[in-house]
Amino acid sequence: MEFSAINFQVTTFEAEEIKSGQEESDTRIILYLRYAQEVLGYTSAVVRSPDSDVFFILLHHCCHLKITVYLDNGKGKERKTIDMTALSKQLGNDWCEVLLGIYVFTGEDCTSAFYGRGKVGPLQKLEKHTKYHDAFR
């Protein structure tokens, strides 16, 4: 059996529209998605990340993007694709804005949570008492 080589040409360029001083790639993803939507005219994009920070950042911003965003998440057999745009619509703008704040407050993946306190209790309180939503926007 003989295989023929396929030649690919890769073109790179500086995207002046998204130059930023942001160093954290988790938050730069939103800049790339906006660029893909507004400049390149994409209607959908897939973000590959096993990081829970990216999940909550995307969830927070998907309400405001016109591009359909999918998150390819997990590792190995646990890998799955999540339609972040559909999820954000299902939860609604209010929850999407609040969830990022509560996620950071209760201990994101790089920040320790308060000793003995998890995420479920605060989420249940927020669900029951929406008057606290403004504190996490």
**DSSP letter string over 26-61?**
HHHHHHHHHHHHHTS--SEEEEE---HHHHHHHHHH
**Rounded Cα distance, 136 and 1, in Å:** 61
**DSSP letter string over 75-108?**
SGGG-EEEEHHHHHHHH-HHHHHHHHHHHHHTT-
Torsion of CA 70, 75, 77, 81, to 10 degrees: 0
**Rounded Cα distance, 29 and 26, in Å:** 6
**50's tokens:** 């096993």
Whole-prediction pTM: 0.68
Over residues 66-105, the pLDDT tens digits come to: 999 999 988 888 889 999 999 999 988 877 777 777 676 6
Over residues 28-60, the pLDDT tens digits come to: 889 899 999 999 999 999 999 887 788 888 988
Q: In the sheet where 68-73 sits, what is the strand order?
A: 44-48, 68-73, 80-83
Q: Please, what's the largest Cα pairwise distance for the chain?
A: 68
Backbone angles phi, psi at 107, to 5 degrees: 110, 90
- Of 21-30, 60-69, 117-126, the range with the highest mean pLDDT is 60-69
* 62 neighbors 33 (Cβ within 8 angstroms): no
